[in-house]
Structure 1
Amino acid sequence: MSRASGDSGDSSRESSRASGRAFTPLEERLDAWAHRRSQALAADAGPWRRGLLEFAVFTAKQAWACVFGAVMLVLLVLARLVYPDDALLVRSDALVLAALTVQALMLALRLEGGRELWVIVMFHVVGTVMEIFKTHMGSWAYETDGLLRIGGVPLYTGFMYAAVGSYMVRVFRLFDLRFTRYPPIWATALVAAAIYANFFTHHYLPDVRWVLVGAVVLLYARCVMSFRNQRTGPRRRMPILVAFVGVAFFLWIAENVGTWAGAWIYPHQSAQWHLVPPTKFVAWLLLMMISVVLVTLVHRPRPPTD
């Protein structure tokens, strides 16, 4: 390794420690590569080449942040396309064991930090409890075979929620997220609790999801998120609500893939697969707010320092 690459790796580790959100070893290498390339282009490259590099780094880090969710989607699709129907181990149980293996490997290979694991586990539990209730109410359904399940819910479903939590904790670390005018944590926690309660109570009481969407907009309307693609690079800014909508949209896309793969089905898909209705986009937006609040318990929102 050259001295220049070693210096950039040291710079990445130092800035990572300064932020209080240490990179995993692979993330350090990714950040060091981005630093070396940006330094090499800084002197003689035009704005287009620098912009393309920044976009490439942003895409690579977003892809890495999504790695657990992407692996889960691949497993769901493979389970539908290639897993034999007459296998001794039924499909749903195989998915549970595969998800457990992936999570264990990510910890053993230091691809995921143990400090944030409890947030992922918490969202796993939150999602599983809601799944048990929702399947009981007939909101959606899973295959009925398999032993590794609670009621009508196979245990791999919790890992799909965990994938959302995993993404959230990764983007905080990878992009050194900072916030201007972030709302009080107690207020965000109250709204998140109301959102979670509404997923249950709307079966018996009026559905107030649009009131809760309004509360989210009012709460975060003035908040601006700043990030940078590599720790020595310039900060970029965007309204945090734009980020929320973008993440919810990709979650809706992932849900369409999951239902196509037969991981679960909605009543309107029982005879033939159809797109998940756009109303579920709103549900994902609200559910994501619970994950956001859980993550802020580990990564406290901080203002930019530069």
Structure 2
Amino acid sequence: MPIQALDNHLLNLRAKPDLSGLSRFVVEFLYFGIKEARSCLFAGLFFAAIFCLPRSGIMGIPRYDALLIIAVLIQLWMVWTKLETTDELKAICLFHVIGFALEVFKTSSGIKSWSYPDLAYSKLLGVPLFSGFMYAAVGSYIIQAWRMLDVKIRHYPPYWMATVIAILIYANFFTHHYIGDYRWYIAACTLGLYARSTVVFTPLDRERRMPLLLAFVLIGFFIWLAENISTFFGIWRYPDQIGAWATVNVGKWSSWSLLVIMTFTIVGNLKHIKQRIHIPA
């Protein structure tokens, strides 16, 4: 299959010692973009379906239900073609459950942070089941990027500390409606915890480095952009978008960046990924 041939090429790039200067920058940047795009395979296909499906649905199937069917088929295809392993599928299912639970709470009658206005037979507690796949898409991207870019982490905090921060991040999405929003306090703790952490990745044939915190912020930014596009197409709406579409509050960028950290922590606990994480003694 073409996608598997592409994977073989990207995962077995030959060294290019003759490249230097601007030429090396251009080639490495090109391969970095290709690997990033490949890592977004599930997210890209899923959001393409979101943008292409008419609001009225297709062949008599409501849009939300059609999106659920498409998401399941994409996921099954990726496992069948071995683009994802069974263990990775389990992690992605966990992201789906975590995301769906958050959706149920945020759209409940007492909270109403956002809503899904269209009809769907696959709604559970008022939330269409496809919504969990939007969170699973983030997990899928991180898992795929870890492989494509041969990611390694230097000076990662102890797992128990990273886990505690991840739990606090998730809990704050619920508790801030009752006892105040402590995201910036949690973010400050996160800043200290990951201050020395570095992500090592290989776009071509040489390792490159980036502060792990910067990676979290950048991923959060692109998710925020995707959220703007999704609300523009009416997949869901915030209260201030009911009458007319408006840009999603930039504060959501910080929320997504924190959610990325939580997702990254779950991925980092996969057994085969743990081997690439360095925790200083």
Residue aligned with 1:127, SS: helix
Superposition map of 1:176-215 within 5 A: 176-215=150-189
Q: In structure 1, which of residues 269, 273, 284 is the aligned counterpart of residue 245 of structure 2? A: 273
Contact map agreement 2:154 2:197 (CA 8 A) in 1: yes
Q: Does 1:238 align with 2:210?
A: yes
Residue aligned with 1:203, SS: helix
Instruction: Give the superposition deviation at 1:199.
Output: 0.7
Q: Does 1:152 align with 2:145?
A: no
After superposition, the C-alpha distances for 1:128-155 in whole angstroms (9 at most, x for unaligned) are 0010010002000002411112111101
Q: In structure 2, which of residues 101, 110, 113 is the aligned counterpart of residue 139 of structure 1? A: 113
Which segments of 5 or more consecutive residues in structure 1 lack a partner in the other structure?
1-23
Instruction: Give the superposition deviation at 1:67.
Output: 1.3
CA RMSD of aligned residues (A): 1.8
Superposition map of 1:83-232 within 5 A: 84=56, 87-136=59-108, 137-230=111-204
Instruction: Give the superposition deviation at 1:85.
Output: 5.3
- AA aligned to 2:228 is N
Larger CA Rg, structure 1 vs 2: 1
Map of 2:228 onto structure 1: 256
After superposition, the C-alpha distances for 1:196-216 in whole angstroms (9 at most, x for unaligned) are 111111111111011111111
Map of 1:14 onto structure 2: none
Residue aligned with 1:204, SS: helix
Instruction: Give the superposition deviation at 1:303.
Output: 3.5
Q: How far apart in 1 are the matches of 2:61 and 2:137?
A: 24
After superposition, the C-alpha distances for 1:112-137 in whole angstroms (9 at most, x for unaligned) are 22221111111110000010010002
Superposition map of 1:28-67 within 5 A: 28-32=8-12, 34-35=13-14, 38-39=15-16, 42-43=17-18, 45-67=19-41
- AA aligned to 1:204 is Y
Q: How far apart in 2 are the matches of 1:181 and 1:211?
A: 22
- 1:49–1:162 CA distance, 2 compared to 1 (3 A): same
Q: How far apart in 1 are the matches of 2:38 and 2:57?
A: 32
Map of 1:71 onto structure 2: 45
Residue aligned with 1:196, SS: helix
- 1:175–1:152 CA distance, 2 compared to 1 (3 A): same
- AA aligned to 1:124 is H
Residue aligned with 1:274, SS: coil
After superposition, the C-alpha distances for 1:243-284 in whole angstroms (9 at most, x for unaligned) are 111101001001111111111100000000111010000110
Q: TM-score normalised to the size of structure 1?
A: 0.84
Superposition map of 1:7-22 within 5 A: none
Residue aligned with 2:247, SS: coil
Map of 1:27 onto structure 2: 7
After superposition, the C-alpha distances for 1:203-246 in whole angstroms (9 at most, x for unaligned) are 1111101111111111101112211124xx22111111111111
Q: How far apart in 2 are the matches of 1:294 and 1:46?
A: 38
Which segments of 5 or more consecutive residues in structure 2 lack a partner in the other structure?
none
| Number of corresponding residues | 271
